[in-house]
Chain A
Amino acid sequence: MQLHQKISVALNAATAAGRVGLVPFVTAGYPIKDEFIKVLSEICKDGDVVEVGVPFSDPMADGITIQRSSHSAIEQGVTLNWIIDQLAASDIDTPIVLMSYLNPLLAYGYEALAADAAKAGVCGFIVPDLPWEESEHLRAALETQGLGLVQLVTPATPEDRLEMLCKVSQGFIYAVTVTGVTGGDQSMPAEVVDYLDVVKRHASIPVCAGFGVREPSQVAMLGKHADGVIVGSALLEKIESGEDAAAFLRGLQG
C-alpha cells in the first residue's frame, strides 16, 4: 500500500463505522514547543488523520489564529527539520499530513524531504501556495516514496477544474468551504451543501471539508455531504486557552 492510501483507508474506516471522519490540525510546537508530541498524541485519540502545520513567516492563506500560532512556533525555534525528527522519534501511528507553504519545502530540498518524511510517518502533504500547475517537481519527489499531494478545491473553482483536481488528488480532497482564509467564524453559506455534493460526485477518494469549522452542528451538516471535516483554528483556540482539546474534538462529532 502506498503511504497516501493510508489516509484514504483511515477516512473510509470512519465512514464504514458510521462516523464523520475527523482531521484535526495543529501548528507544530504550538503553544509550547516541548509539548508538540504530547498535544499531537492527545488529538490522535480522536483524529482519523492528523494535519500538522509547518510554521511559515508569511502564511498568506491563513487567518489570524494560524498566523499567531505560526509566529509563536517560529519564535520558539520550530523548523521543518525539527518537526520531522520529532515525528520520527514518536510512536504515533495515525496517518499524518504535513501542511506547509512551499518555501520551507524548497529550502529542505524535495528529495531529502520525501525520504525523511516517509520515514517519520508522514503520508502526504498539503501546500496551500502550490496550485496543481506548479506542482510537478514536488510531486515527482513525493511519488518516489508513495507520499501524496492533497489538492484543494474551493467554491471559486470552476467545475471542469474541480473535476480535474478531484481526479489527481491523493489521500483525500480538501474541499475549502468558504471563499476566504482559514479560521473565519461566518456561518456556512447554504450553497456549501450543493458545492460539496458536486465535489463528492467527482471524487473517488474521501472528501474532507475545512475552513471555519467550529460547531457540532456544522460537523453534522457537513458530514452529510462530505466524508470528513478538518478542524484547525477552532482547535488551536481551545489548546491556547488550556481547554481539553480531546473533549472538544469528541464533542464535535456529537
Chain B
Amino acid sequence: MNEALENMSDADRAEHLRKLIAGEYPDKRGRYGPFGGSYAPETLVTALKRLEQGIHEFLADDELQVELRRELKDWVGRPTALTHARGLSKRWGADVWLKREDLAHTGAHKINNALGQAFLAKKLGAKRVVAETGAGQHGVATAAACARVGIPCTVYMGAVDIERQAPNVDRMYQLGANVVPVTGGDATLRAAIDEAFRNWVADPAETFYLLGSAVGPHPYPWLVQVLQSVIGTEARAQIIEAAGGLPDIAVACVGGGSNAIGLFHPMLADSGIEMLGIEAGGLGPDLGDNSATLAAGKPGVLHGTYSMLLYDADGQIQETHSVSAGLDYPGVGPEHALLKTIGRVTYHSITDDVALDALRECCAFEGILPAIESSHALAGAREWAKENPGKRILIGLSGRGDKDMPTLSKHMSFREAAE
C-alpha cells in the first residue's frame, strides 16, 4: 500500500487535488483518495450515518447558520485579528503575518469547532455531550460551548495530561463540565479518545461525541474542516486587504491537524501559496521520541480512520512524545495524509527545544505568548524564512500560551533569559 502511494502519478495527484478543491472529497465512502473512511464498531455505524445526515441538514439550515455566525462574532470574538509581526519580520528578513486564534474566546481555535458541534448536538436533540481533550483546550472550549448552548458535557482527559495541564482542568470544572480522568493506555490524548468512544458506544442514540480534531471516522474529519475553515477564509481576505496580496506560504502546526486544515483548506486552490505543516519533533527522530506522524508514520487505522500513523512492526500504536500536549498524538487527519501524498502541503518537524526558543522570540519581539503548539509553526516558519528570504509568510497562531506556564517554568527561566 505504501508503494502504491509513493508511485502515484502526477496526473493522479492533480486529480486528487481537483476533487479536494471541488468538494468531491470526502467521497460517499468518507474517503480522501485512499485515506479516511469509517472504521467504527458496528454499534456506531448507524449513529455516524445519522450524524452525517444531521450535518447536511445543519449546513442547509439558514436560520441556524445565521445564529452560529452571530455567536462566532459576539461570543467567540470573530473575526480574529491578523497581526503584522514587525519584530519577527525584521529579525527573519521576511514579511510575517500572524492569524491570531489565540484571541478567540477560551484562547485557541478549538472554540470554532466546539461551538459549531454544540449547535449541531442541540439540533440533533442530543441529551449530553462527551469529548476528549489532550492539552485541555478542546475540553475548555467544549465546556464553554456546552454551557452557552445549554447541554451537559463530560470530558475525558488522560491522567498524565490532567497533571501537566492542571489550570485547564479547573477551568472545565468552573464551566460546568464533568472531567473524567483516564488512567488506561498511555493516559494521554489517545487513551482519552478511546474512552470517549467507549462512552459513546454505550449510548449512541442520546450522546453526541464532540470530537476535537480533524481525525476519527467519517464524517468527523470533514465536519471539523468545515467548522475550522473560518480561520483560512478570514485570513485570506485579511491578508489581501492588509498586505495587498496573498502570502507566499501558509504555516501551521499539526497534531491531529484541525487548525492547519482550517487555515489551509480555503487556500488550496491558490496555487501560488506554498503550504507547510509543522509536526512535533519532540526529543528527536527516534521512534517514541516524537509525534511526527507524517514524517515517520505509515498508513494504518486508529480511532476510525485510515491515515498516517505511528505504529510498530506488530501494529501496536506507538507511544509519542512532545512537550506540547496538543500535538502529542500518534495519528493525523486523513486530509493531511492526502495533502502530503499529493505534495500540496510539505510537512516538517520541529523539536521541543527549537519550538520553545521560537516561543521566547515571539514573546520578546511581538509581545505575544503563543501556545507551545503554535510555537512549532513559528519555528518552522523561521527555518523556511532563512532559506527563502524576503517572502510574505502567514502563520496560524492557533492558541495562547497561558495554559503552558507550568511547562514553561520547568523548561526555561525567563529571568535567566532576560539577564
Contact = CB atoms under 8 A, between A and B. Distances in A.
A60 B194 contact: yes
Contacts of A103: 300-302, 309, 311, 315-317
B301 A157 contact: no
Contacts of A154: 42-43
Contact of A133 (B38, B41, B204): B38
A249 B43 CA distance: 28
A104 B29 contact: no
Interface in A40-70: 56-64, 67
A156 B301 contact: no
Interface stretch (A5-13, A27-35, A140-148, A176-184): A176-184
Nearest to A109: B1
Contact of A179 (B43, B197, B309): B43
Contacts of A130: 39
B37 interface: yes
Contacts of A74: 316
Interface of B: 29, 37-47, 184-185, 190-191, 193-194, 197-198, 201-205, 299-304, 309, 311-317
10 contacts: A61-B43, A61-B201, A103-B301, A104-B314, A131-B42, A133-B38, A134-B37, A152-B41, A180-B43, A181-B201
Nearest to A158: B46
A150 to B, nearest CB: 11
Task: Point out which of A57, A61, A134, A179 has the most chain B C-beta atoms below 10 A from its C-beta.
Answer: A57
Nearest to B202: A180
Contacts of A181: 198, 201-202
Contacts of B203: 179
B40 A107 contact: no
Interface string A164-207: 01000000000010011100000000000000000000000000
Contacts of A63: 198
A242 B314 CA distance: 29
B43 A176 contact: yes
Nearest to B317: A57
Task: Point out which of B37, B202, B304 has the most chain A C-beta atoms below 10 A from its C-beta.
Answer: B202
Given A71-B185, A133-B45, 7 more contacts: A58-B190, A107-B300, A134-B38, A156-B42, A156-B44, A157-B42, A179-B204
A131 B45 contact: yes
B316 A57 contact: yes
Given A60-B41, A134-B37, A80 B29 contact: no
Nearest to B314: A79
Nearest to A67: B184
A130 B37 CA distance: 10
A213 to B, nearest CB: 17
A128 B41 contact: yes
A88 to B, nearest CB: 17
Nearest to A59: B194
Top 5 nearest A-B pairs (CB, nearest first) are: A107-B315, A104-B315, A180-B202, A79-B314, A103-B315
Interface in A74-99: 74, 79-81
Contacts of B201: 60-61, 179-181
Given A67-B184, A79-B314, A103-B317, A60 B43 contact: no
Interface string A94-117: 000000011111111000000000
A79 B46 CA distance: 32
B6 to A, nearest CB: 17
A74 B302 CA distance: 17
A153 B42 contact: yes
Contacts of A156: 42-44, 46-47, 204-205
A235 B302 CA distance: 28
Contacts of B301: 101-103, 106, 129
Contacts of A62: 198
Nearest to B39: A129
Contacts of B184: 64, 67, 71
A157 B115 CA distance: 30
B206 to A, nearest CB: 11
A129 B202 contact: no
B321 to A, nearest CB: 16
A105 B301 CA distance: 10
A236 B197 CA distance: 23
Contacts of A165: 42
A100 B45 CA distance: 19
A173 to B, nearest CB: 11
B315 A105 contact: yes
Contact of B202 (A71, A161, A179): A179
A179 B193 CA distance: 18
Contact of B38 (A57, A81, A131, A176): A131
B7 to A, nearest CB: 18
Task: Point out which of B40, B43, B45, B303 has the most chain A C-beta atoms below 10 A from its C-beta.
Answer: B43
Contact of A176 (B42, B197, B311, B313): B42
A117 to B, nearest CB: 15
B328 to A, nearest CB: 15
Task: Point out which of A80, A151, A180 has the most chain B C-beta atoms below 10 A from its C-beta.
Answer: A180
Contacts of B190: 58
Contacts of B47: 156
Given A103-B300, A103-B302, A60 B315 contact: no
Nearest to B42: A152
Nearest to A55: B316
